């Protein structure tokens, strides 16, 4: 099996800590190690380091090398700039062409997700591999623990193998009422964005379902053959549709399977999610350093200074060298709007 780790994101929901020159996947958010280091170490139990590949944007290559010194630099697949998951996975397939047999299985995972039950994760990977060998495109559906409106959902159908089920449909992020309905059934799962397939099956899916992407890839491959893989293919790559692989491939396919999974997964999607995952004091406060609190609860603090709280609840307080964020924890994902404002007003020094 080979592993492809998607590491080109900007992590805007973790501003002001996550910046363009040091985004979320390279930060030690949940432990002393960066998220990408944790992801690679987790996969090393199933995949050799020589068969792990990182796809990332050109401006993040040096960060990958720094955080993964044991990775061969030739295993870094470079996008000219960050795109959505369908183009970057397709580019990776082209990059790996002729390196592996067409029946080789590939695990696709994000660089910045957390998995706490690795034993169960490995069990699910084994099941997914067996299913993928039947020419299926396989995804991992996380058994929901609460009615989340932050994730897309996967509806499962008939059992088609050992703990693998046919996918009936993909659902967009629901409202609260719909999420509660999903929770009450036993066949709706959070969409983890992790996949396993063999190279032949996913290549065929791109050719049949996204011919525009594949035609551009053929031109890129022609340039690689003519000028080498270090050649500039920016003008071709920017013509790619910015499609997630879920919409561009998975939702259009009829050979999709889902593995119901409960391995302590989180996409660590923002400051509120990080508070939920962190060790708390008796008043549900979280801080990386010593702090003082009077009549204050449910707060998340990230600062090297001594922070003192009096009579405040449910706040996110994040301080960096040049910025300070104070937000209602339940609205902390709206930090993306602040990032948008900074871009619109050319305040690039804060990005």
Residues 214 and 318 in one domain: no
Q: Which pLDDT does position 40 carry in this prediction?
A: 98
Identify the sign of the CA torsion 45, 46, 51, 57: negative
**Which domain CATH number covers 219?**
3.90.550.10
Specify whether 255 is located in the same domain as 310: no
pLDDT of residue 113: 96
pLDDT of residue 82: 81
Q: Do residues 276 and 256 both lie within one domain?
A: no
DSSP 106: E
In terms of domains, do 63 and 174 share one?
A: yes
Mean pLDDT by 10 residues, the chain (351 residues): 93 91 93 95 96 95 96 95 91 92 96 96 96 96 90 93 92 91 92 96 96 94 88 92 93 95 93 93 94 96 95 96 95 92 92 91
100, 168: one domain:
yes
34 and 107 within one domain: yes
Task: Indicate whether 257 and 285 sit together in one domain.
Answer: no
CB–CB of 32/108 below 8 Å?
A: no
Q: Are residues 182 and 282 in the same domain?
A: no
Q: Which of 266, 297, 317 is the C-terminal boundary of a domain?
A: 266
- Domain count within the chain: 2
Q: pTM score, two decimals?
A: 0.92
Residue indicated by tokens 């139990």:
45
Same domain, 130 and 8: yes
The range of the structural domain enclosing residue 254 comes to: 2-266
Q: Tokens 């964005």: give the residue.
A: 193
The verdict on 124 and 212 lying in the same domain is: yes
**C-alpha of 244 from chain center:** 12
- From 235, 266, 297, the end of a domain falls on 266
Where are the alpha helices (H) located in the chain, listed in sequence order?
35-43, 61-67, 85-96, 118-132, 176-184, 199-209, 211-227, 234-237, 245-248, 271-277, 335-344
As a whole number of angstroms, the distance between CA 26 and CA 121 comes to: 22
Within a 13 Å sphere around the CA of 175, how many CA atoms are in the beta-carbon half? 1
- Given 236, 266, 296, the domain boundary residue is 266
Asked if 209 and 64 sit in the same domain, the reply is yes
Q: Identify the pLDDT of residue 231.
A: 85
């Amino acid at each position: 099996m080979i592993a492809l780790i998607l590491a080109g994101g900007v992590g805007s929901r973790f501003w002001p800590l996550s910046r363009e020159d040091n985004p979320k996947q390279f930060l030690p958010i949940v432990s002393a190690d960066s998220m990408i280091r944790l992801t690679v170490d987790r996969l090393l139990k199933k995949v050799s380091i020589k068969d792990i590949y990182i796809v990332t944007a050109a401006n993040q290559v040096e960060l990958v090398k720094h955080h993964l010194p044991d990775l061969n630099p030739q295993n870094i697949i470079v996008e000219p700039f960050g795109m959505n998951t369908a183009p970057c996975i397709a580019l990776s397939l082209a990059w790996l062409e002729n390196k592996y047999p067409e029946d080789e299985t590939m695990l696709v995972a994000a660089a910045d997700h957390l998995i706490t039950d690795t034993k169960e994760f490995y069990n699910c990977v084994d099941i997914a591999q067996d299913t993928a060998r039947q020419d299926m495109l396989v995804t991992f559906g996380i058994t929901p623990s609460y009615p989340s409106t932050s994730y897309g959902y996967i509806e499962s159908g008939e059992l088609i193998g050992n703990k693998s089920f046919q996918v009936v449909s993909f659902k967009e992020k629901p409202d609260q009422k719909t999420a509660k309905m999903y929770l009450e059934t036993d066949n709706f799962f959070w969409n983890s964005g992790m996949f396993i397939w063999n190279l032949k099956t996913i290549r065929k899916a791109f050719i049949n379902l996204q011919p525009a992407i594949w035609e551009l890839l053929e031109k890129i491959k022609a340039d690689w053959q003519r000028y080498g893989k270090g050649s500039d293919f920016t003008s071709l790559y920017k013509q790619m549709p910015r499609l997630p692989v879920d919409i561009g491939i998975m939702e259009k396919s009829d050979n999709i399977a889902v593995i119901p999974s409960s391995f302590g997964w989180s996409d660590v999607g923002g400051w509120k999610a990080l508070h939920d995952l962190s060790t708390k004091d008796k008043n549900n406060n979280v801080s990386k350093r010593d702090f003082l609190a009077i009549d204050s609860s449910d707060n998340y603090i990230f600062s090297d200074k001594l922070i003192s709280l009096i009579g405040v609840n449910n706040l996110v307080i994040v301080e960096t060298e040049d910025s300070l964020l104070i937000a209602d924890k339940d609205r902390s994902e709206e930090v993306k709007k602040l990032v948008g404002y900074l871009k619109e007003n050319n305040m690039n020094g804060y990005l």
